[in-house]
Structure 1
Amino acid sequence: MNARSYFSVSGYMKAQNSSVDLVSLTNALPGAVYQLELTESGDWHFHFVSEGIESIYGCTVSDLQKNTCVLKDIIVADDYEAVVSSLLESAKYKIPWNKEYRVVRNGQTHWVYGHAVTEKQPNGSTIWKGQLLDITERKQLELTVKRHQRNLELAERVANLGHWKLNLNTGKSVWSDTVYELYGLEKSKTDPGLDIVMEKTHPQDRKAVTDAIEAAKKSGVRDVEHRIIRSDDTVRWLRESGIYQLDENGDEIIFGTVQDITDYKEMELKLRSTGGEDEHTGFYNRRMMLRALQRRFSFYKAHPEYPYFLLALKVTNDSKTLARAAEIVRANIRDYDTPGHLGNGLITVLLSTLSRPENNSSLRRVITELSDAGIESHCMLEEAKNTDSRFDDILTRALP
């Protein structure tokens, strides 16, 4: 963290009016429990760290007290700035913090997973309350699986995901047990395949599912959110992400994951109805668009071989111009592209295809039609880069 940053660790915490010793309790938990504060002036303080920190960082609470820069020496240099940036991003957007990174302990490299809830304080400071876990064994297994079984890559990376493999030539699939559970189907009575997926998919969402498959053939990536109707008539939202490739026999294969996002989707739809949708364009507002960029950036960091494109255009910030510009943009993008209005006349579109020629074609059509409508604009097409460290780096490059 910067030159003025420092860590102060209090090594004792008492439970008031209780027979429960909270210090003993936290010390008994796996890994290390902590409370970290970032003050408004930019200083960092650990208000509490459990004794488990020695199993994570190879140092004692006393070590942290004596050497304010010890964490910079422990966390692998290539990961240190990313850890700090992720914390600052968590503070800026008031979102939970999650990060996997490497540390050097007793001369060996270990993987650590940190997570925390983020709380903004009345005095302007931010407090994280969370836990650090050694995930070295799991990470090594994950890397092995990534090398040898790509169809499990996404499922091993994130907990509670089902994974699947779809052969587009035959329509047949291979599902993990979780997929059967998500669809509410019995494994012994189900022949997994595209037919059963389409049967269970909500009628209004079937086109989105087939469109996503066609998009995967062009771009290499399949990403779709859709509803299913289970046998008990309950409706659930699923998010499916996949990677398209040809196998050794030349068959078209999509490897992917599926996750139940019903709670998240219901919250998102509620946000749209209470301010999540921009009133001038009908697109995502700033908050929702930034969330969409965050999700796509996370996928890209896991799969840098599949970059993405962002179309950005700036027009006069008045309601009539914005409404007309939005009509033109909507008419020249795909149904599964994600448009948003970030404010001040800045419209962005997260494009679903990885084809630069196709995206350039969309850009040219938008520019031409805006000009024909008498709307002055500044338009840019930007591609994600492997040097991007933050989800909004692509946005910064695209800004006029």
Structure 2
Amino acid sequence: MNTPCITGWNHSQFGKLSGIDPENMIGDVARAAIEHAGLAPDAISSIHIGNFNAGFLYQDFPSSLVFHALPELRFLPATRVENACATGSAAIYSALQAVMSGQSTHALVIGYEKMSELSTGDVGDVLLKCSYAREEAGTPGGFAGVFGKIASAYFERYGDQSDALAAISAKNHFNGVSNPYAHMRKDLGFDFCRTPSERNPFVAGPLKRSDCSLISDGAVAMIISAADVARTMTRAVQFRAAVHMNDYLPLSRRDPTVFEGGRRAWQKALTDGGLTLNDLSLVETHDCFTIAELLEYEAMGLAEPGQGARMILDGVTAKDGRLPINPSGGLKSKGHPIGATGVSMHVMAAMQVCNDAGDMQIPNVEHAGVFNMGGAAVANYVSILKRLV
């Protein structure tokens, strides 16, 4: 199989990074990723920037900002890619296409976001632009309100799932303690996540603060290289599958309790890779809200519709379970800087297949899955990674 490979990466700390210039964030991770791949800057053929922005920063049009830190890259083709919360994966897939077409030998991918310049309310207004404006603009609670409605619809159909959502949150915060890049490295525990309190109030519908991902800043970079060249490098993580599918934007045109686009993307990825879910050692999935992770268990085929709760309550998705989900802590603990998220998820999976994940490491990893979505399962990206070298 001659698909492109990840050959280097670098991951910044995620969190509220006050006083850190986004241009410096971009330059630092880009230079370190190139060095990690064992390359010089002049080996890079193209640059693919994932940045959502939509009002987080005044400075838009970021494609040439990396030249400030790496003037050696000046005059290369550099493009900004955006696909809501799947922006990072969109940038990776842009790089894959450049390499597969033969236009690039080594493509630099950078995903970043600086969200903390705005108030929580303003961040919610920016993120709500990822919904269908004609019907969903002005939803109370912003995007949390959108997922609160999804959770309420699921609860109405299948019963109260509050125990499962609290268990997902507690699992991901427990896992995040081992992630040195995570925004919040604190084991909150099931009781805190399950019990409404002054520190953990309801935010939207049945969702509490502990069910919602964090407002984060951060940057991640990786190098995508042609397979024939990657075989000669220090490490090469191959894409056994790379699938992108979009669904309707309005929730009114879909069953909100079924991530149909995600389900179809998972089915195609497993088929393309000649694999089954049992062949995966772990999955990094898009837990922007705990209800999303629950629905993703069902979308990936781990559980039948309405049975996702059993996967978390029975320990199937725990770090030592049959299929660990989000051993990095996921978006819930690691943070969710929109443009950086998809790149981060792929880096976390690449670290696992290279046995380079430190305290996050799952034993004997062969294949790692990634599911990154934009909006409420509108843009759906599924990757399956395996180490080649």
* Shared fold (TM-score, shorter chain, > 0.5): no
Greater RCO between the two (CA within 8 Å, min separation 6)?
Answer: 2
Determine which structure has the larger strand proportion and give its number: 1
Name the TM-score, length of structure 2 as normaliser: 0.31
Rg comparison, structure with higher value: 1
Name the TM-score, length of structure 1 as normaliser: 0.30
